[in-house]
Structure 1
Amino acid sequence: MKKLNSERLRKVKLRVLKVQEGGEIATPRRICNLVKKKWRPRGSVMTEAMSSTSVEEKPAGYWKKLLLKEMAGCKDSTWKTELRHMNPHTGMPALTEHVLRRLHIQWEITLISKNGRESVFKQTHTFFEDSSVTVYWNRGVWPFMSSLNGLKLHGIMGPSLPASGDKPRWRSLIHQTSFDKSVHWSFLGADKLVKLLRFNNGIIVGVWRGNWKIAFVMVNLHFNKLIERSLLGSSFCPYIPTEDTALDSDHGRHGYTLHIVLHNPLQRIMCHRFSPLYISRAPFQGDYVQLVAIDLADVPQHKPVAKISVPWQAEGLQGDIERCCMMTLTVLDEAQRPFWCVSSPVKMCNKLRVVDLEYAGEQFIIIYEDVEGKVKMTFVWMEDLQQCFLVQLITAFPAAKVKRRFGGES
């Protein structure tokens, strides 16, 4: 009986395993032989991969880039493909906000005390514009400004609440700012409770009046290379993008596009796009060229502007600091590639009425300047209309910047 059962089992297996292989039925023995043949790399292949010769043939920076990609855990091919779709209005990647949210990218600041102790604060609010994002921190136990030595801003990727056992979140250094007395900072504005201090890299620190204890921190980040800066740097070294150069030296003469937004952490104040604009020599500044977007003499170009202010909230209190806001400015060349990108807090200052206009009202001016360029905006407040008008907008940048980008004479 036992022999009969084994014979029936063998016949059943043959019926089930009737797989054609070279015109023959694959028997159980033959299938077992096939299963046992597992793939193994040839010894010569492994030797070649690990040889010092193949390592030395890699281009400079190959292993560093590979390490950063592996540690960051990001799929380059996916988000780089998504960033190819450009917003025709701003010239920035149209899906930047979508990619930032999909990759769970956030930003955190690290305050460094004078004794070397570090305190990390996670973002509490973000406000997305079409070409920038304003990040706000106002929760936690904040130190006094006098006890601090500096601040670091990192981009972080991963779930906001990592589960137990998850690997640490990747941190990419974006900015590092010193609070040393030798570092220049400027007073931005104030109300009855808070003073705003502007440091380099567009960082705003709000301090309580009287004791100079930090109340909140704000940073405005331009979309240009923002995802790369938030992912591809390390904890100690920021990502440095390669500078674009034009193949056609005449591109610097064919016309630029200027996109400018004034906003605060809650709302947009003004947004305009000017194209095409053509460079001309800046008067009294032979080493600068300029783009005139709004001319004082051209009244139809003048633009109405909403109230310029920065609202804030901290420790259950809130306020509104007038005559200051965030400025996000993008200059594109004819090929719609970024030529100059700025995200910075700015403030309005009173201006003597040196130019007669059709408007009868108080004049104000906003001036921004860094090593890459300058921006000048002139405003007029019309008391009878209770409305502010932008009557002049000029951007200027060094002629050497144009030569370096496009070549030839500017």
Structure 2
Amino acid sequence: MNQAWVFGDTDASLPSELLLQILSYLDAVSLLCAGCVNRRFYHLANDNFIWIRIFSTAFSPKRSNWKVNSVEKTAMSMKLLSVGDKEAGYWKKEYITKQIASVKAALARILKPLHPYTGLPIKTKEALRMSGLGWVIILKGNSGEEYIMEHVDLSINDSSVTAVWYGRDWPRLATLSTLDLCGVTPVFMDRSKTPTKNGPRWQSLIARFNLSHLARSPELGCDGRIRTFCLPPGLVVGLWKREEELAFVMANLHFHHLVERSTFGSAAVPYELPPHTPVLDDSPERGLRGYQLHVDMHSGGVFCLCGTFRNLFTSKEYIENEYMKLSVISFKNNTEHLPLIGKVGLSWKTNVFDGCIKNCSIMDLTLLEEYGKPFWCFSSPVRMRASPVPRHGPPFPGETYRVEHADAEGRVHVQLVRIPHSSEYFIVSLALYLPVAKVNRWFGTDY
């Protein structure tokens, strides 16, 4: 039970000295809650003498013997002497800052081991559970008001996380300007307990999206009730057809640097990836070689494609319009052609209805370069569109379709054929187009 709430309306008659004595028995979380009771409790709960005790208990060096060396003793004495000189709340801020730093250090240790085949941290799912990491969206109105929403559904896929928000109390779309996607992490992490949403949390901005022209943007797909739109990177927004108002929001987050992006930024500034140090290519004349691709297509926890392709390569001859083409599945080699399992569709639900947008899904792509490091990663909605029969490919028995994705890191082009009798889709071509400028930056080359 939270002891801070037992006072009720009687606190006005209690002297501050007695209240401070009572507050001194609280732990950090209860003390922070006590500071929310009223203005008087807020000032009392900022007391530096209480917080330096909590700080010292949590972060003083732990020793196995009874002796404390003179340096540690002198440092603690200086802290105690300076307590009265600090502004109220100083040691509370120091404690919270130190707690956040310790959580980040623990997460960095967990994420250090990398998987030899995916190049991604082996223990991403463990880090998500241990940290209590979650995601919120912050809808900002044209007049400055904010609406914060916790995710309702969360699914953890092989290489991505899908978070979904829906409800009855969406603000009107016309009154909104932006949507902030943020990771939220408890300040206090106790590995022996399951993390909860109670208590203080810090926010890390992942991306900011403009909603002002959403309804006029190109559609991702629609059904009888919903129109969906894609806002890069990886956000799906569903609008009710009849009212043109928000129905749901779906964020697709690739595992690559996911924990860092969701915890190491601030509420206003996203986390910046560490600068890449070029890995010198010992034989650039041979082009790109030894690349590995893992690609999934899924929705609602159901996968229609899960493929890994190794030893991919290309040469300087395949540079076109400042892109290097990396061929994964070829038109001409039918032994490489892959089927999509089941029906392709983007599942959605709200607290009232659910449905499926045909010919749409989520694509997760992880491309590793020759040294096993992630070169290009994304998780994004994609749409299957009708496409003319390729001029340079063999004749196919059914209708042809294409799936495309493009961002600053590259382009994906997938060609599919629908078999008339079975209604199955086969991937007959898959190619990646990598910007020459990025390849040159990555390897210190000059293609």
Q: Look up the SS of the partner of 1:348 in the other structure.
A: strand
Higher-Rg member (1/2): 1
Q: Deviations over 1:114-164 (max 9, x none)?
A: 1211101101111111211111111341123222101001101124331xx
Distance in 2 separating the partners of 1:209 and 1:286: 40
Q: Residues of 2 paired with 1:234 and 1:117: CA distance?
A: 20
Tell me the distance in 2 between the aligned counterparts of 1:88 and 1:70. 33
What amino acid is aligned across from residue 181 of structure 1 in structure 2?
A: H
- The 1-side partners of 2:321 and 2:181 are apart by 37
Identify if the C-alpha distance between structure 1 residues 360 and 181 changes in structure 2 by more than 3 Å, giving closer, same or farther: same
Higher deviation after alignment, 240-249 or 119-128: 240-249
Answer whether contact 1:266 1:311 (CA < 8 A) is retained: no
TM-superposed deviation, 1:196: 0.4
Select the residue among 301, 317, 322 that pairs with 2:353.
Answer: 317
Are 1:375 and 2:375 matched, yes or no? no
Q: Which residue of 2 aligns with 1:115?
A: 143
CA–CA separation in structure 2 for the residues paired with 1:182 and 1:280: 41
Amino acid at match of 1:234: S
The 5 Å alignment of 1:117-136 reads 117-136=145-164
Cα distance in 2 for partners of 1:395, 1:194 equals 31
- Bigger strand fraction: 1
Q: How much has 1:365 moved relative to structure 2?
A: 0.3
Give yes or no for contact 2:164–2:248 (8 Å, CA) kept in 1: yes
Give the 3 Å change call, closer, same or farther, for CA 40–94 of structure 1 in structure 2.
closer
Residue pair 1:90, 1:130 contacting (<8 A) in 2 also: no
The verdict on how the C-alpha distance between 1:41 and 1:389 changes in structure 2, with shifts beyond 3 A counting, is same
Residue 322 (structure 2) aligned to one of 284, 287, 300: 287
1:402 counterpart SS class = helix
Q: Report the TM-score when normalising by structure 1.
A: 0.79
Residue aligning to 2:370:
334
The aligned amino acid for 1:123 is H
Number of residue equivalences: 355
Using the aligned pairs only, state the percent identity: 31
Q: Are 1:145 and 2:173 matched, yes or no?
A: yes
CA–CA distance in structure 2, aligned partners of residues 67 and 371 of structure 1? 40
User: Which 5+ residue runs of structure 1 have no aligned equivalent?
Assistant: 1-33, 51-65
Q: 1:277 aligns with which of 307, 312, 324?
A: 312
Amino acid at match of 1:302: H
In structure 2, what is the equivalent of residue 178 of structure 1?
210
Q: CA deviation at 1:75?
A: 3.1
Counterpart among 220, 236, 260 of residue 188 in structure 1: 220
Amino acid at match of 1:201: P
Q: Following the alignment from structure 1 to structure 2, what is the Cα–Cα distance between the partners of residues 361 and 390?
A: 12
- Paired residue secondary structure (2:242): coil
Aligned equivalent of 1:393 = 430
Equivalent-residue separation in structure 2 for 1:80 and 1:179 (angstroms):
34
Q: Which residue of 2 aligns with 1:10?
A: none
Report what 1:404 is aligned to.
Answer: 441
Contact kept, 8 Å, 1:185 with 1:200, in 2: the verdict is: no
- In structure 2, the residue matched to 1:232 is 264
- Distance in 2, matches of 1:39 and 1:221, equals 47
Q: Deviations over 1:167-212 (max 9, x none)?
A: x211111111111339984310000000101112211110100211
Query: Structure 2 matches for 1:11-410, cutoff 5 A?
Result: 70=98, 72=100, 74-158=102-186, 159-162=195-198, 166=199, 168-181=200-213, 185-250=217-282, 253-281=288-316, 285-306=320-341, 307-355=343-391, 357=394, 359-410=396-447
> AA paired with 1:208?
W
Between the aligned partners of 1:145 and 1:176, the Cα distance in structure 2 is 16
Q: Which amino acid aligns with 1:366?
A: V
How many angstroms apart in 2 are the aligned matches of 1:172 and 1:250?
39
Query: Counterparts of 2:161 and 2:412 in 1: how far apart (Å)?
Result: 20
CA distance in 1, matches of 2:184, 2:401: 39
Which sits farther off after the overlay, 338-347 or 245-254? 245-254
143-152 vs 246-255, which deviates more?
246-255
Q: Distance in 2 between matches of 1:220 and 1:278?
A: 29
Return closer, same or farther for 1:114/1:276 CA change in 2, 3 Å cut-off. Answer: same
User: Does the Cα contact within 8 Å between 1:329 and 1:342 map onto a contact in 2?
Assistant: yes
Flag the 1:304–1:263 CA change in 2: closer, same or farther, 3 A. same
- Going from structure 1 to structure 2, the CA distance change for 1:323 and 1:93 (only over 3 Å counts) comes to same
CA–CA separation in structure 1 for the residues paired with 2:114 and 2:303: 21
State the alpha-carbon separation in 1 of the partners of residues 319 and 70 from structure 2: 78
Shift of 1:39: 7.1
Q: 1:282 to 1:227 in 2, by over 3 A?
A: farther
Counterpart CA distance in 2 for 1:148 and 1:38 is 59
Deviation string, structure 1 residues 331-383 (Cα, Å, up to 9, x no partner): 11111111111111111111012445353001110111112110000010001
Which consecutive residues of structure 2, in runs of 5 or more, have no partner in the other structure?
1-65, 83-93, 187-194
The AA in structure 1 aligned to 2:256 is N
CA offset at residue 258 of structure 1?
A: 1.1
- Cα distance change, pair 101–192 in 1 and its aligned pair in 2 (3 A): same
What's the offset of the Cα at 1:262?
A: 0.8
Amino acid at match of 1:90: T
